[in-house]
A and B are shown apart, each in its own frame.
Chain A
Amino acid sequence: MKNSVNKIVEESFYALTSFLVVLTLLELAFPRMVLSYVNLNFVLLLWLIFAIISITLRHGKEK
């Protein structure tokens, strides 16, 4: 069960990382193309939450 949660969190983290990188590059290339529709602050916040959970879970597993 714990392994599954780890995996879901990890996959979500990878997905959000990809979204964040791709959308940021798009915004840099075409200003306001992304920010007109998507608030990247929220994506970044979500990414940060999943990153912290992922690290916490991995740290617990290593102990």
Chain B
Amino acid sequence: MIDMAKIPKIRMLWISVLIGVVLWLFWMKVVPGGKMTYESDLKGYNAFIGRLTPSDRLSGSNVVIGDPAYFSLFVPRRFEKARLTVEFKNQTDRPIIEAGVLVDKRVWNYDLKPLQNKAVDSLFDSWSALLEDDLALFQRQKEYDSIGDFLKNPPAAERVAAYNYDLRQDFTLPGYSPASTTRNICRPIGGAYQFYTYIKDEELSFDFSFRDLNKNSDPDPIDVFVYYEDQELYSESLDDDGGQGGEDKSFKLRLSQLPEGVYKIGVRANSDIVTRSISTPQSKMAFINKVSLADAPEISCGRNLFTGSRQLQFMTALADRLGRVKIHQVSGDAFSEIVDIVETYKQYETGQVLPPFSEVIMPSDGIVVSGDGLFSFSAEEYFDPRLKKAGEGFDPDEQGVDFVIARYAPPTKDGDWSVASADFDLTNVYKEDGKHSFLISIPGLRAEDGTGQGVLIKSIKVDLEGVSLWEKIRRILNLKF
């Protein structure tokens, strides 16, 4: 028999429990200490780390068979750093696994960090290795005693390959002289792109002609930026004028008194923006990794490309732009490959490693071409100021590389499993509904190949770090008083 006098006490008890639960929920949301860890085995429901998607690139819930696979991370508050730790088993012959966080949704730009690079891993056994902090230097024959010595006095760029590291080299084009005339590049390009150009005793001058197709109702701003030696030199943002589309918008980029060297110019815009033409006196232009040939045949004066990519991908969204791509070596031994694009929204790849310099003969406009190298619209425009990359298809003997510098730590072993971590800066990355978007990339792995091979992921752990509540209060008080 329950004692009626005890009722208020029982009520006090469950009200206390309720208050305790509410306080605990607030504690977990605010994360007063500024540090939190979330972990998932990707098999069951996890409120913080979402399942891997899309399902057609997965076998089961945690075997990635196609590149890339995505997952989301819900964060209850703002964090500044994330350490992603992935426990995996690479059952494929693909040498590289990378993880990335979505930085800019407009251009689908992911900040990629390495998890595994078998090409670099193999150097640990066969070459002399120097490790300092998160940097690794591999030497075929030991010539440097420290990484500091190497960076102060680097060897010729042709002998060096880099991975996940920007080694500053004073790149110059011997015999370069400025062009005397301005040329009009009538090759319409869709969306975002970046390219290298080279100047010497001349003005950096580009006239862009943009058109907003307004196929989507979202605003379509355009950002133009210029980088020199990895530092942003100039940026300009063009707002969406809210028009109905169909009218061209011009933008003149003029920078003078610049030193001789390589400049990176980028246009950040969504797929609604088409660059109809570019006028420039600069004679060198090499597009980085991707060219989206816009479907504007009325103004296009050609569509063939020259590239140093060793592997190419093609994709079109337009059914009347399907066709046959021919690739052949520009000079030297005869080499040719044919890639048939027979379906829309499907990515087609070259089957063999391409020669160092190839011409790509496109069947039509409206095709997105991507690769691991640079692209130009003519052989004369092409130049490659970058260091060789110790990535996909890297062969130091064939490429004459004697040094490899990498910001990379090989995965550790836990039984049959490899464990690798990557650090991300979350301060300026994209977040929607409290979620960050991550990807796991295994370049060259295609679900369509049907090999059944994949990367088995046992667990994903994310260690988050941000400002603690006390630090936040201290900052507010410092600001006010």
Give the B-binding residues of A (Cβ under 8 A): 1, 3-4, 7-8, 11, 14-15, 18-19, 22-23, 26, 30-38
Tell me if B342 is interfacial: C-beta within 8 Å of chain A: no
A7–B7 touching, CB < 8 Å: yes
For chain B, the count of residues having a C-beta within 8 Å of the partner chain is 21
A36–B76 touching, CB < 8 Å: yes
Residue of chain A at shortest CB distance from B45:
A39
B15–A18 touching, CB < 8 Å: yes
B18–A19 touching, CB < 8 Å: yes
A18–B18 touching, CB < 8 Å: yes
Tell me if B29 is interfacial: C-beta within 8 Å of chain A: yes
B14–A18 touching, CB < 8 Å: yes
Known: A22-B22, A35-B47. 4 other contacts (CB 8 A): A3-B1, A15-B14, A23-B21, A36-B28
How far is the CB of B143 from the nearest CB of chain A, in Å?
Answer: 54
Contact with A along B1-30 (1 / 0, CB 8 A): 110100100110011001001100110110
B384-438 CB contacts (< 8 Å) to partner A? 433-434
A34 to B22, CA, bound (A): 9
B434–A26 touching, CB < 8 Å: no
Tell me if B79 is interfacial: C-beta within 8 Å of chain A: no
Knowing A8-B2, A11-B7, say if A36 contacts B74 (CB, 8 Å). yes
A33 to B11, CA, bound (A): 25
A37 to B26, CA, bound (A): 11
Q: For residue A34, which residues in chain B have a CB less than 8 angstroms away from its CB? A: 25
Other-chain residue from B10, B25, B47 in contact with A26 (beta carbon distance below 8 A): B25
Other-chain residue from B7, B26, B47 in contact with A36 (beta carbon distance below 8 A): B47
Q: For residue A35, which residues in chain B have a CB less than 8 angstroms away from its CB? A: 47
Q: For residue A31, which residues in chain B have a CB less than 8 angstroms away from its CB? A: 433-434
B17-53 CB contacts (< 8 Å) to partner A? 18, 21-22, 25-26, 28-29, 47-48
B7–A33 touching, CB < 8 Å: no
B28–A37 touching, CB < 8 Å: yes
How far is the CB of A4 from the nearest CB of chain B, in Å?
Answer: 4
Q: For residue B29, which residues in chain A have a CB less than 8 angstroms away from its CB? A: 30, 33
Contact with A along B63-107 (1 / 0, CB 8 A): 000000000001010000000000000000000000000000000
B7, B22, B25, B76: which has the most chain A beta carbons within 10 Å?
Answer: B25
How far is the CB of B51 from the nearest CB of chain A, in Å?
Answer: 15
Count the A-B residue pairs with Cβ separation under 8 angstroms: how many? 50
Give the A-binding residues of B (Cβ under 8 A): 1-2, 4, 7, 10-11, 14-15, 18, 21-22, 25-26, 28-29, 47-48, 74, 76, 433-434
Q: For residue B21, which residues in chain A have a CB less than 8 angstroms away from its CB? A: 19, 23, 38
Knowing A1-B1, A8-B2, A18-B15, say if A36 contacts B10 (CB, 8 Å). no
A8 to B7, CA, bound (A): 9
Knowing A18-B14, A32-B74, A33-B76, say if A7 contacts B47 (CB, 8 Å). no
B4, B15, B26, B29: which has the most chain A beta carbons within 10 Å?
Answer: B29
Knowing A15-B14, A32-B47, say if A4 contacts B76 (CB, 8 Å). no
Q: For residue B14, which residues in chain A have a CB less than 8 angstroms away from its CB? A: 11, 15, 18
How far is the CB of A30 from the nearest CB of chain B, in Å?
Answer: 6
Q: For residue B433, which residues in chain A have a CB less than 8 angstroms away from its CB? A: 31
A26 to B14, CA, bound (A): 18
Other-chain residue from A1, A3, A11, A38 in contact with B11 (beta carbon distance below 8 A): A11
How far is the CB of B37 from the nearest CB of chain A, in Å?
Answer: 14
Residue of chain A at shortest CB distance from B1:
A4
Q: For residue B74, which residues in chain A have a CB less than 8 angstroms away from its CB? A: 32, 36
A26 to B19, CA, bound (A): 12
16 residue pairs bridging A and B, Cβ less than 8 Å apart: A1-B1, A11-B7, A15-B14, A18-B18, A26-B22, A30-B29, A31-B433, A31-B434, A33-B25, A34-B25, A36-B28, A36-B47, A36-B74, A36-B76, A37-B47, A38-B25
A23 to B22, CA, bound (A): 8
Q: For residue A3, which residues in chain B have a CB less than 8 angstroms away from its CB? A: 1-2
A4–B2 touching, CB < 8 Å: yes
Other-chain residue from A7, A11, A22, A30 in contact with B18 (beta carbon distance below 8 A): A22
A40 to B14, CA, bound (A): 17
Knowing A4-B1, A4-B2, A15-B14, say if A32 contacts B434 (CB, 8 Å). yes
Q: For residue A7, which residues in chain B have a CB less than 8 angstroms away from its CB? A: 2, 4, 7
Q: For residue B25, which residues in chain A have a CB less than 8 angstroms away from its CB? A: 26, 33-34, 37-38
Q: For residue B15, which residues in chain A have a CB less than 8 angstroms away from its CB? A: 18
A37 to B317, CA, bound (A): 42
A45 to B34, CA, bound (A): 35
Other-chain residue from B18, B26, B76 in contact with A32 (beta carbon distance below 8 A): B76
How far is the CB of B8 from the nearest CB of chain A, in Å?
Answer: 11
A54 to B47, CA, bound (A): 34
Residue of chain A at shortest CB distance from B14:
A15
B10–A11 touching, CB < 8 Å: yes
